[in-house]
Structure 1
Amino acid sequence: MEIEISSSMHLMYVSEIQQEMYDSAQRRGTGIAKRSIEYLSKKISEGNAVVATENGEWVGFCYIETWSHGQFVANSGLIVSPKFRERGAATLIKNKVFQLSRDKYPNAKVFGLTTGLAVMKINSDLGYKPVIYSELTQDDEFWNGCKSCVNYDILMKKERKNCLCTAMLFVPENITKNGAAHTQPEIKYSNEMSQTDIEYPVQNSLGEFQMTIKNNKKSPDEKESHLSV
């Protein structure tokens, strides 16, 4: 499997990627905000995405977006083809797109919204922390991207303060402590998406987050098809 920063050579996969994003959202009942072929093609052509392939077939995809004049970066639309799930592809793609974000925008905060427990675990390993929505970009254009999600009405009724997604944030200045560089944890590839003990954040009535351990064995469809990352 090859995981590459995108280029025009990967445009051949854009229709399949967009369709799988839509199909996956429909199966889960929650959704990746719908993106047009033109939008995804632009991300791919500009090198603002990561594409995984194997023997000429697309394996997975994720892209980056910037908000608030480059103060925030989002890794969005993480998706893995059903044929290649349960092989650790999501973790490898997420690590690659996270590094791309850090290389292009080293001073930006990296954030994500997701309903996927596996993505929360990956983000936690990369140094993200669960936060309330007010810690994210307040750029209207970002939140308008949620309009195609089935949960948009919930988001608006709650005045963009929370929704079904968990917000997670990586802050660059937190990567060092007492002058020591932050070291990323070793990536485990063997069936990592079938872990049954997953630590994930739960928001209490005060808007505070606590970490909870729960046995949660997910189906193959739920493991590596995510809202945003």
Structure 2
Amino acid sequence: MELTVDIKQEIAVIEAGVIHSKYATEICEMIETAAKIRGTGIAKRNPLYIAQKLQEGKSIIAFAGDKVIGFCYIETWEHEQYVANSGLIVHPDYRYVGLAKQIKEKAFELSRKRFPGAKIFGLTTSLAVMKINSDLGYKPVTFSELTTDASFWKGCASCVNYDILQRTQHKMCLCTGMLCEPNKPQKTF
């Protein structure tokens, strides 16, 4: 695959804050575009929800100059027993240069810092994300090992594969569930 950017360009991957709220719509558009291109399960996000994650300091944002090129957020479930790292997106021009890994590592660190005792999990259809998660210490699990919070699963409703999840009573889908438990040895970076 041919890269369309100069990878020597300065890229910043940082914890987001209130000042980044203005990028919520742009992030949602990036997620929606990726879902259409891939044709696989990526749940649609609402700009107000993404703005909330940015304001709460529960997200990681990547920039090339002043251009948003990547994002991921964290959300807690079941009274902070579980933390999901969700919404990972990298602008198409910046894929295949290790940016997704940088974003996921920062999201993982943020999850550990904010919620040290929580189990961290994610759902993905992406082989690249599965590899990154595996490198961070996640293991593939059945959905029964993930949160039972109905609000989490409702977030999958905008995914093209939601009918599968419903038919199986949240037991399986095309996504792979991955879990990292806090009391098990973790890899460092």
Whole-angstrom CA distance in 2 between matches of 1:171 and 1:48: 19
The AA in structure 2 aligned to 1:92 is: Q
Tell me whether 1:136 sits opposite 2:146 in the alignment: yes
Whole-angstrom CA distance in 2 between matches of 1:173 and 1:111: 14
- Structure possessing the higher relative contact order (Cα contacts under 8 Å, 6 or more residues apart): 1
Tell me whether 1:55 sits opposite 2:61 in the alignment: no
The Cα of 1:37 is off from its aligned counterpart by 0.9
Number of paired residues? Answer: 179
- Per the normalisation by structure 1, the TM-score is 0.76
Counting only pairs closer than 5 Å after superposition, residues 1-229 of structure 1 correspond to structure 2 as: 1-175=11-185, 182-184=186-188
Whole-angstrom CA distance in 1 between matches of 2:141 and 2:64: 36
Which has the greater radius of gyration?
1
Structure 1 unmatched runs, 5+: 176-181, 187-229
Q: Deviations over 1:21-72 (max 9, x none)?
A: 0111111122321121110000001100000111111110000000011100
Q: Is the 8 A contact 2:119 2:180 kept in 1?
A: yes
Secondary structure of the 1:95 match is helix
Q: Is the 8 A contact 2:17 2:56 kept in 1?
A: yes
Question: How well do the aligned residues superpose, as a CA RMSD in angstroms?
Answer: 1.0
Secondary structure of the 1:173 match is coil
The AA in structure 2 aligned to 1:132 is: T
Whole-angstrom CA distance in 2 between matches of 1:8 and 1:147: 28
**Moved >4 Å (runs of 4+):** none
Q: Deviations over 1:191-216 (max 9, x none)?
A: xxxxxxxxxxxxxxxxxxxxxxxxxx
- Matched with 1:196 is none
- Per the normalisation by structure 2, the TM-score is 0.92
The AA in structure 2 aligned to 1:59 is: I
Q: Deviations over 1:169-199 (max 9, x none)?
A: 0001112xxxxxx442x5xxxxxxxxxxxxx
The AA in structure 2 aligned to 1:168 is: M
Identity %: 53
Secondary structure of the 2:108 match is helix
Structure 2 unmatched runs, 5+: 1-10
- Matched with 2:4 is none
